[in-house]
Structure 1
């Protein structure tokens, strides 16, 4: 009974905080415009969406999502400030006020939508599985990885997909995608499940890796979207306006193509 009561109190606290946050975020866009700065949370280890690369000799955060963030900042008429952090902290930074929005290869889910606002989707997810090139014929199906270790990035949609579909494998959740790739190369895991554009970025840098001949099934809702604090109505409309314009011009695909050219100078 004590656990039930405490659980109910905790749940009530979460919804109370969400409600308070919701009312205080109605004027978030106005606040951003007043301070002249848009703070965007990113986890820069997910090329070509967001990653670090040497640009003119400087360690710089680049990627397709960064270009999207810049387009939103331009629409608001403010400067863009990137707040770099681990992926599993990206969404929580919106609740703590450390960031105004999160653009980091995030996918909409019903559970996440209870706590955060999401934009319209800007990119449909494509799944891929990486293995060592020498094992590409051995690991050619989900079943072939039974009893083996498959690495994923903690907190990602791929983590959920892998746990659902690699039922007989040991799914290993790691903080950074770079860590997952290193464990694959060293033989600590036998495969890495990730997004196809991200996989292609790592393939360009690692000739000892290969794309498996199969991929996991993704749902219709597994698309990338911008996350914002709950109740950011006006800001959501502005972000959707930018996304609609980019979609009409097919610009996001251009962002991915341009970012792919920089993966050769990526910094771990």
Structure 2
């Protein structure tokens, strides 16, 4: 009986040890799978999902704006065409998220979006929290004013102690602060709201990229572009913004962008949508 009990105890111990060993193997395998998933990177995850999540602020014609297409309200623009071309190269679909500009940047930083396009400039401050592709477009800057003030504003100095607007979170905020230092900056999230402030006289001027400025002026007979020189810098060029940790996606996008630029596609997208935005305004 003692021998039987002895062997029973030994067999039980073997079973327990075997189970423990099995548990360790399973845990090790899970860890390897997790590590493998992390190594795969952002690009592989996007391709596996078949969808790329793109953020924008669709009040920025001709780069992103709303238009009726086949009876439905859709986001269109040069950036939209560019993203669609990128998605085709990646073999995925696009899921758009249209929010305020600063909200979109915050969503990128939080990793809730895979990329952001909306006339985004790769400033040194933004580079601390996000990654950026190579520049794909270099804009000029203009000042939109009420047409009746054309003779009043012919130099930046004329805006001394005046209210000058810029989209909140945009590069134009910095332009107003640096080049219109004697003016009062008014930052608002949506460009159409800033335009209304200029029309009503609550704002004396509004700093916008030239294409966007021209589009809004074309839509509003009481607005004009001031004969004022605003300096442009490399920091104002447009890039695609990405969350930190997206280096593999960044490299792939740079390759695709170089191809699109070399083929003249970006300029083609801008010209096409500039016409579309102006036709919409008529």
Deviations 1:114-167 (A, max 9, x none): 211100000012100011111111111111111211111001111101111111
| Aligned-residue offset at 1:262 | 2.2
Which ranges in structure 1 are unaligned for 5 or more consecutive residues? 1-22
Residues in 2 aligned to 1:206 and 1:252: alpha-carbon distance in whole angstroms: 27
Q: Which residue of 1 aligns with 2:149?
A: 135
- Matched residue count: 245
Structure 1 window deviating more from structure 2 (231-240 vs 90-99): it is 90-99
Match of 1:244 among 258, 262, 271: 258
Q: Does the CA-based 8 Å contact 1:52-1:266 persist in structure 2?
A: no
Q: Which residue of 1 aligns with 2:271?
A: 257
Instruction: Establish whether residue 225 from structure 1 lines up as the match of residue 239 from structure 2.
Output: yes
Q: Which residue of 2 aligns with 1:110?
A: 124
| Aligned-residue offset at 1:216 | 1.6
Residues in 2 aligned to 1:141 and 1:182: alpha-carbon distance in whole angstroms: 23
Q: Which residue of 2 aligns with 1:189?
A: 203
Residues in 2 aligned to 1:202 and 1:94: alpha-carbon distance in whole angstroms: 28
Residues in 1 aligned to 2:105 and 2:156: alpha-carbon distance in whole angstroms: 30
State which structure, 1 or 2, has the greater radius of gyration over its C-alpha atoms.
Answer: 2
Residues in 2 aligned to 1:94 and 1:129: alpha-carbon distance in whole angstroms: 29
Q: Which residue of 1 aligns with 2:34?
A: none
| Aligned-residue offset at 1:250 | 1.6
Residues in 2 aligned to 1:102 and 1:26: alpha-carbon distance in whole angstroms: 22
Q: Which residue of 2 aligns with 1:47?
A: 61
SS at match of 1:173: strand
Deviations 1:86-134 (A, max 9, x none): 1001122123332111111100011211211100000012100011111
TM-score (norm 1): 0.87
Structure 2 CA distance for partners of 1:118 and 1:87, relative to 1, 3 Å:
same
TM-score (norm 2): 0.83
Deviations 1:35-81 (A, max 9, x none): 10011000001111111111222111011111111111111100011
Deviations 1:202-224 (A, max 9, x none): 11111111111113212223210
Q: Which residue of 2 aligns with 1:67?
A: 81
Q: Which residue of 2 aligns with 1:174?
A: 188
Q: Which residue of 1 aligns with 2:102?
A: 88
Give 1 or 2: higher helix fraction. Answer: 2
Structure 1 window deviating more from structure 2 (93-102 vs 145-154): it is 93-102
Instruction: Establish whether residue 206 from structure 1 lines up as the match of residue 197 from structure 2.
Output: no
Q: Does the CA-based 8 Å contact 2:144-2:207 persist in structure 1?
A: yes
Residues in 1 aligned to 2:204 and 2:128: alpha-carbon distance in whole angstroms: 35
SS at match of 2:235: coil
Q: Which residue of 1 aligns with 2:13?
A: none
RMSD: 1.7
Q: Which residue of 1 aligns with 2:49?
A: 35
Ranges of 4+ aligned residues in structure 1 off by more than 6 Å: none
Matches within 5 A, 1:116-127: 116-127=130-141
Q: Which residue of 1 aligns with 2:27?
A: none
Asked which structure has the greater RCO (Cα within 8 Å, sep 6+), the reply is: 1
